[in-house]
Amino acid sequence: METNLYLPTDYSAEKTETLSTVSAVQPYVYACVFSSLCIVTGLIWDISWHMSIGRDGLFAPPHLVIYIGAVVSGLFSGFQVLKTSFFSNPAEKAKAVKFWGIFYGSLGALFCIWGAIAMLTSAPFDDWWHNTYGLDVTILSPPHTLLAIGMMMIQFGTLIAVIASTNHLRENQSKTIHNWLFAIASGLLLTTFFTLFSEFLGKHRMHKALFYQIGCLLFPLYLITVARASKMKWAATATAAVYTLQLLLMLWVLPLFPASPRLGPVLNHIDHYQAFDFPLLVIFPAMMIDWLFLQLHTKKGWVKTVSAALAFLAVFFVVQWFFGTFLHTSVLARSWFFGGTSWYFGSDPNYQYRYSFRPENVDTGFTLIKGLMVAAVIALISGTIGYKWGSWMRKVQR
């Protein structure tokens, strides 16, 4: 009778090898971070394309960049799953998620695979939609919604993969690369969130209570999640910094290239790309969240959550209200740095509210106070969800 024994010496060697290799970032994690960058870059480019050119197709350059992100993340994550499923030892399989009876893979890789499938499925659906109904009047049309779900699944999967890799590190191992990857992955996902909700977060709405309600729905949820999930001291700040840098680079680089409208009517005659929005100043409330988490590290979770959520609203309201006035009305904002002259080719360049707030987009007095009170409640709810979500992510090992 032949018996396979796991001798102590062999097991120790296997364990030592596992610990030494697990500290290194797996190739598919790097690939997924690259994919997330492609997705965000292509997404913002696509919005500028529609603002400047209008007509596009299935294989328009911005679409190709987005699809590259989907393909790269899907292939590398799929390879990781196949490698773990059929070429790994039992110890490595025990650290993976089992699905469909025979496959093993990390949770992050599974999210990336599902996201890639959703994104690639949305491509022909979007092409058919445009051929049938013409240009979209909103960002979240049905095919774009499927695409957005796929994109966020890939980016969330990337974030989970980075966190899981970080959680495998021992206390004496360097976390520098992991922290950088986490900041990039979380910042790019924040950029996607902002982009998808940018219709409600434009500079012309910054004196409206709804602007701050939407902001409190999105940003405390995400930034508190990041601050809780990561072992970085300034995780929310780093996330907001990556978001800010990504949007600024696209704001400054795209207008350097020529573009002309291909659809009519053309009311605003342009010869270069029209830039996307200037980033919101979320880096300041993000710094406040990180500072509070550091100061209150010995306090209970609900204390940190309530403090961070209310502080977010207070800082966000102050900086964004006055900066919104500058962005939308000041002559100084009409420069390449702030992108204040960016304007859709189909809109009248002499529109009377191009550089001023529409009366219905300005809340004052009790209306504003009541709206901010609603925003505070929203911030507390989203912050609580974010803290619990971050606590779960902090424990991810697979």
| Burial bucket for residue 78 (CB in 10 Å: 0-12, 13-18, 19+) | middle
DSSP letter (8 states) at residue 135: S
- Provide DSSP, 9-60: HHHHHHHHHHHHHHTSPPHHHHHHHHHHHHHHHHHHHHHHHHHHT----TT-
Domain residue limits at 71: 21-196
Q: Does residue 115 share a domain with residue 262?
A: no
Q: What is the 3-state secondary structure (H, E, C) of 275-334?
A: CCCCCCCCHHHHHHHHHHHHHCCCCCHHHHHHHHHHHHHHHHHHHHHHHHHHHHHCHHHC
For the four alpha carbons of 142, 144, 147 and 153, in that order, the dihedral sign comes to negative
In terms of domains, do 104 and 183 share one? yes
* 244/284 same-domain check: yes
390 near 222, Cβ under 8 Å?
no
Whether residue 10 lies inside any domain: the answer is no
- Asked whether residue 177 falls in the same domain as residue 156, the answer is yes
Residues 179 and 305 grouped into a single domain: no
pLDDT, position 11: 37
Rounded CA gap, 154 and 242, in Å? 18
390 & 369 share domain: yes
User: Angle CA(141)–CA(147)–CA(148) in degrees, nearest 5?
Assistant: 85
Q: Rounded to an integer, what distance in angstroms lies between the CA atom of residue 325 and that of residue 314?
A: 17
Residue 16 lies in a domain: no
Does residue 15 form part of some domain?
A: no
Tens digit of each residue's pLDDT, the chain (398 residues)? 343 433 344 434 444 444 444 457 788 889 999 999 999 999 999 999 989 998 777 778 998 999 999 999 999 988 888 888 887 777 777 777 877 777 888 888 888 988 998 888 877 776 666 666 666 555 666 777 888 888 889 999 998 888 888 877 776 666 788 889 999 999 999 999 999 899 899 999 999 999 999 999 999 999 999 999 988 889 999 999 999 999 999 999 999 999 999 887 899 999 999 999 999 999 999 999 999 999 998 899 999 999 999 999 999 999 999 999 999 999 999 999 999 999 999 999 999 999 999 999 999 999 999 999 999 999 999 999 999 999 988 887 77
Whether 9 maps to a domain, the answer reads no
* Contact assessment for residue 263 and residue 135, using Cβ atoms and an 8 Å cutoff: yes
Same domain, 302 and 364: yes
Q: How far apart are CA 301 and CA 286, in angstroms?
A: 17
Q: Identify whether 5 is part of a domain.
A: no
- Nearest residue to 364 via CA among 221, 207, 236, 178: 207
Query: In angstroms, rounded to a whole number, what is the distance separating the alpha carbons of residues 211 and 233?
Result: 29
Tell me: do 215 and 302 sit in the same domain.
yes
Number of domains in the chain: 2
Q: Pick the last residue of a domain from 165, 181, 196.
A: 196
If asked whether residues 186 and 304 sit together in one domain, one would say no
For residue 13, is it within any domain? no
Examine residue 8 and state whether it is found in any structural domain, yes or no.
no
**Which residue among 169, 196, 223 closes a domain?**
196
Question: Which residues lie below 8 Å from residue 245, measured CB to CB, with a gap of 6+?
Answer: 187
pLDDT score for 130: 64
List, in sequence order, every residue forming a beta bridge with 104; answer none if it has no partner. Answer: 98
192 plus 229 within the same structural domain: no
Report pLDDT for 174: 67
Q: Where is the domain boundary, 143, 175, 196?
A: 196
Model pTM score: 0.88
Give the burial string for 350-389 (b: 16+ CB within 10 Å, else e): eeeeebebeeebebeeeebeebbeebbebbbebbbebbeb
- Together in a domain, 233 and 169: no
Residue 357 per-residue DSSP state: -
Domain for residue 4, yes or no?
A: no
Report pLDDT for 10. 42
* pLDDT the model gives residue 2: 41
Q: Based on the fold, state whether residues 99 and 30 are members of the same structural domain.
A: yes
The alpha carbons of the chain give a radius of gyration, in whole angstroms, of 23
Task: Please give the backbone phi and psi of residue 343, each rounded to the nearest 5 degrees, phi first.
Answer: -155, 135
